[in-house]
Amino acid sequence: MIRNRILIVYLLFISISILTGCCINQTVNETELTYGDDLINLVEETMKQEPREENEIQITKAEIVASFEDETKQIVLANIYQMGFIPEEGRFISSSGAMFPVEIQYEIDDKKLVNPLVIYPLDGSEFSSSLKKMSRNNIKWYKQLMESQNSYHRIYNDMIQKLKKEIVENNLDGYIHTKDEIPNYTEDVIFLEELKNEPKSNIGIVKEEAYFRAKNQIGKVNWPHYEGILFNEATGIVVESIFDEFPK
């Protein structure tokens, strides 16, 4: 069962990134040794992705699972969520995405966290054992890190809020809408609320013709589906999506 195009890209990205099972050196600005929002911001800056395509907006969210000192290093265990969005004619196209746990080893230099080393878990049958090693056999940490693999519905709205912040800060006009005034979706549309396969507080909006054409294919094809947009009620942001639910 498919949620939308993001989930497909997730699986591809995770396969590529986790298969490496290696460490990646990165450089960020020195930051005072603090916790809470400051540590979250540092981890998000460490894990920030460069745009893969022209005009792409990359969004990164970090959830800290644990942070502790180990000799001269500060160890941070975190779940990382990444999504890429390309603006096009008032809506966004999902271009990339990933959800994965990491261990980041920062050097401590005069109460500052510097020179991060990012460690990814191994792939396949070794994923669980490498995650246990990463969590230092702490069952609570292990379970929290494992949650990264099934967090799409929980974190989607937060990612869209971050996307809105980017839109406002970069003065990107024409990408925040009301439900009834979305370009190309003002007439002959169906509003699909409370879709089971989509995050809460998001409304599917589809053309009537596309919806009923797909509905008529039920029982005739393996996967009846239709294209539309997912409207985020809190932000007014619209993302192109594929749906396979028929509540009407």
Mean pLDDT of 153-181: 96
Query: Residue 21: pLDDT above 60?
Result: no
Give burial (CB, 10 Å; 0-12/13-18/19+) of 69: exposed
Report pTM: 0.82
**pLDDT value at residue 190:** 97
What are the pLDDT digits (tens) for 66-82?
Answer: 999 988 899 999 999 99
Q: State pLDDT tens for residues 84-126.
A: 999 999 999 999 999 999 999 999 988 889 999 999 999 989 9
198 in Cβ contact with 50 (< 8 Å): no
Bigger pLDDT: 11 vs 129:
129
Among 200, 222, 210, residue whose Cα is nearest residue 246: 210
Q: Is the dihedral of CA 85, 83, 7, 122 positive or negative?
A: positive
When mean pLDDT is compared across 26-35, 142-151, 178-187, the lowest value belongs to 26-35
Q: What span, in angstroms and rounded, lies between the C-alpha atoms of 117 and 105?
A: 5
Q: In this predicted model, what pLDDT tens digit does every residue of 190-227 receive, in sequence order?
A: 999 989 999 999 999 999 999 999 999 999 999 999 99
pLDDT band for 15, please (50, 70, 90 cuts): very low
Provide the percentage of residues in the chain whose pLDDT is more than 90: 75
Position 10 scores a pLDDT of 44
Residue 35: per-residue pLDDT: 52
The pLDDT value recorded for residue 110 is 85
Q: Is the dihedral of CA 147, 148, 149, 153 positive or negative?
A: positive
Alpha carbon 75 to chain centroid distance?
23
Is the pLDDT at 189 greater than 90, yes or no? yes
Q: Which residue has the tokens 């869209």?
A: 160
Q: Which residue has the tokens 């619209």?
A: 238
Q: What ranges in 125-191 are assigned the alpha helix state H?
A: 127-134, 139-146, 152-169
Distance CA 146, CA 101 (A): 7
The helices-and-strands tally (H runs, E runs) of the chain is 6, 10
